[in-house]
Structure 1
Amino acid sequence: MPGLRQTTAFRTDRDEQGRPLTAFEREKLLQPYLPPRPQPKKQSRTEYPVTAKPARFVHQPRLRPALRTLLHYALFTLIHAIFSIYIRCRQTYHVIIGRILAVIYYHHRTPEYIQRDVKQLDKVPGHLSVILELENGGGGRNDRLETLVAEACEVAAWSACAGVPMLSIYEKTGALKSSLPYLHRRISKALTSYYGSSSSKPTISLRAPHHPSYSPPHSPDLHDSSNGSVVRPQPHLAILLLSSSDSRQTLVDLTRTLATMAQDNKLSPRDISTELIDAEITESVMGEPDLLIIFGDRILLDGYPPWQIRLTEIYGVRDHGGGVGYSVFLRGLMRYAGAEMRFGR
């Protein structure tokens, strides 16, 4: 066991005279307290030096992962090929059917042809709604807006000839709301191209939520003052223009209004019901349409008012790329005529 002098010298790294210890002196100080060094083993003559075995070669599997990867790529390519062939065949089938129906059911801008096509239907929707789209690209905004107005005029003319009393046209950006008098003149011009100067030409009125309505002059009196005979009244088509601002934002505004009235004790929370919300939305925007026709290649509501389509029959042609067409319009009426409205039963 080291004494006090050795312990103090080792800790302070100095001897009794205060002189710093060298490395050799420190080793000499610790030498008596270290364990003895092991003596090397003498090798006998019969023992041979043991040589280290060389590391065994570890085989890395490379063929199986490669085959597995090739199999995955082959299955992926096969699935894509089958799915692509199916999509192409489906698109070709729908295009051929659409072209055939477009040839068979062409209106030739004659109301009698449209009335003949509709006459075989059991019922006609009292409120028809369509979704139109302002095309992106392909010319200036004025050209695209002119195409949109032309499509709206055609749909309005078909609806008037089919005897639909109310038509609502949804366009997301609200471009059709920019000028109601101009749109009214264009629709009147389209109806003139169908009916000519006939007295049976329908009258139209335009309306948009939060916009002043634009209506034509009143229809003539039922009794002719000249000879006293009864004059058949002209059919009338009411057109409602909708946009995305009339959709969810209307529900948000109505919810905020009802919450404010409830906080001010002007309305009891118990009085807030589905019937109240339905009545408010019907008065501010519109009621529930009977049929909604989508002229795109897929069913895309694109921000259409959600509350009003709870019981609406929605029709769209899969893989349809021909835009607004009379054959799609007529097929939508046929689908509605054959639909069974259960209303929860």
Structure 2
Amino acid sequence: MVSQRDREILRDEIHSRGAKLSATDRETLLKPYLPDPSDLSSSKRSPTSQRRPKTRKTPIRTFLKSQLHHLTYALTHIIFGVIVRLLQAYHAVVERVFAIVYHHHRTPELIRKDVRGLKRVPQHLSIILNLRTEDDALTVLMDEVAELAAWSACAGIPQLSVYEKTGVLKSCIPALHQIITTKLASYYGSPSQQPSLQLFAPHHPVHGTAPDPQFDSPSLTLLLLSSTDGRETLVDLTKTLTEMSQNGKLSPADITPELVDAEVSEITSQPLQSDSGSGYCTIGPEPDLLLVFGPFLKLDGYPPWQLRLTEMYCTGDRSHALTGYGEAVEYQGFMRGLWHYAGAQMRFGR
């Protein structure tokens, strides 16, 4: 920097000359204070040399490293693929062995023998089925429902509910009742030995005859559910509460979540029976066991308040990718669900 003394000398020089300094004079005066040009060039070169260090190119090493990564990735996938396939093959063999050993042969005595050693059997069994895309999908679905009804009746399960999302089974209740009756005849023989069958569906007439209380004969109650049942139940409850509020029977301030929960619980806790004089049924109590015949556990719109304390089991979660039986309704899957329920611990929130 220019000192105060040099400034005064420079000012006096300017006043003494009475004119402006030329470029040469200014350069002569400021030259002692300017940095050395050699220092500037070295300072400019040094950062550049630091930012661009000289590196050796190793294309062969880079290529070998990338190939090693690809080889490791491929070996990892091959090892895990082999392990998964071996596990699927093992479960497929176990499934086939169970299918042979625990085959019912349409004999109620064999089914009762299979469930005799279980600690408990569900009193209300619920099944989730899916409608396939084949041309005969409805026929296959109705035959599966008939098989499940026969197995449940032979195992001593009095209540069975079948959930199918689209509700296509509700449109053919008489035909389904006839198919189930024919299936029960193939298991039990004469009509006198068959269990009594009642086929229910919300907002649909009841098909079948009630069991005679004078005789201790087996009976089966079958309920058909779909995705609309959950919404329609809430809609009916909303209409009822609205009408009671408009008629002055209920204050709007009294409509609380606790009241709605109590009403829904009252609806779902009623036994399966037709309303007095109407011939229609209400949704019954929540099931003890829910079986899902599919590759994974998917409720698919099942009424949620029906599953608060329900034990769930998925039958096709292990060997379906190899055998193709993930969604098939088979007896060994039915039995595995009952075994799972018998060994489950019912804590009920404790």
1:335 corresponds to 2:335: no
Counterparts in 2 of 1:1-345, with a 5 A limit?
Answer: 59=55, 73-136=70-133, 139-140=134-135, 143-197=136-190, 199-216=192-209, 219=211, 222=214, 232-247=215-230, 249-250=231-232, 252-253=234-235, 256-257=238-239, 260=242, 264=246, 266-267=250-251, 268-269=254-255, 272=259, 274-282=261-269, 284-317=282-315, 318-321=317-320, 322=325, 323-345=328-350
Contact 1:296 1:320 in 2 (8 A): no
What residue identity is the alignment partner of 1:298? Answer: F
Distance 1:220 1:313, change over 3 A: closer
Distance 1:292 1:269 in 2: 32
Distance 1:272 1:102, change over 3 A: same
Distance 1:117 1:71, change over 3 A: same
Contact 2:268 2:286 in 1 (8 A): no
Contact 1:132 1:294 in 2 (8 A): yes
Contact 2:267 2:284 in 1 (8 A): no
Contact 2:118 2:339 in 1 (8 A): yes
CA drift of 1:91 comes to 1.4
Distance 1:175 1:193 in 2: 25
Distance 1:286 1:62 in 2: 75
> Size of the alignment, in residue pairs?
292
Partner SS, residue 234 of structure 1: coil
Contact 1:262 1:269 in 2 (8 A): no
Contact 2:292 2:313 in 1 (8 A): yes
Residue 10 of structure 1 is matched in structure 2 by none
Distance 1:273 1:303, change over 3 A: closer
TM-score by length of 2: 0.71
Q: Deviations over 1:264-302 (max 9, x none)?
A: 462513561633321134454231100111121222222
Partner SS, residue 204 of structure 2: coil
Once structures 1 and 2 are overlaid, which stretch shifts more, 301-310 or 125-134?
301-310
Contact 1:130 1:292 in 2 (8 A): yes
Alpha-carbon RMSD: 3.6
Q: Deviations over 1:161-189 (max 9, x none)?
A: 11111000011111111111100000000
CA drift of 1:332 comes to 1.2
Partner SS, residue 199 of structure 1: helix
Partner SS, residue 121 of structure 1: coil
Distance 1:343 1:37, change over 3 A: same
What residue identity is the alignment partner of 2:314? Answer: G
Distance 1:72 1:254 in 2: 63
Aligned identity (percent) is 42
Q: Deviations over 1:35-88 (max 9, x none)?
A: 86999xxxxxxxxxx9x9999786597868767755654554444334323322
By percentage of residues, which structure has more helix?
A: 2
Distance 1:38 1:245, change over 3 A: farther
Uncovered stretches (5+) of structure 1, i.e. residues with no partner: 1-32, 40-49, 223-231
Distance 2:191 2:233 in 1: 43
Partner SS, residue 130 of structure 2: coil
Distance 1:60 1:250 in 2: 75
Partner SS, residue 155 of structure 1: helix
Partner SS, residue 267 of structure 2: helix
Contact 2:153 2:195 in 1 (8 A): yes
Partner SS, residue 179 of structure 1: helix
Q: Deviations over 1:235-290 (max 9, x none)?
A: 1100000111123x246526744773686462513561633321134454231100
Distance 1:147 1:117 in 2: 26
Distance 1:215 1:198 in 2: 13
Residue 17 of structure 1 is matched in structure 2 by none
CA drift of 1:112 comes to 0.9
Distance 1:74 1:126, change over 3 A: same
Partner SS, residue 162 of structure 2: strand
Distance 1:261 1:221 in 2: 39
State which structure, 1 or 2, has the greater radius of gyration over its C-alpha atoms.
1
Distance 1:60 1:173, change over 3 A: farther
Distance 1:280 1:261, change over 3 A: farther
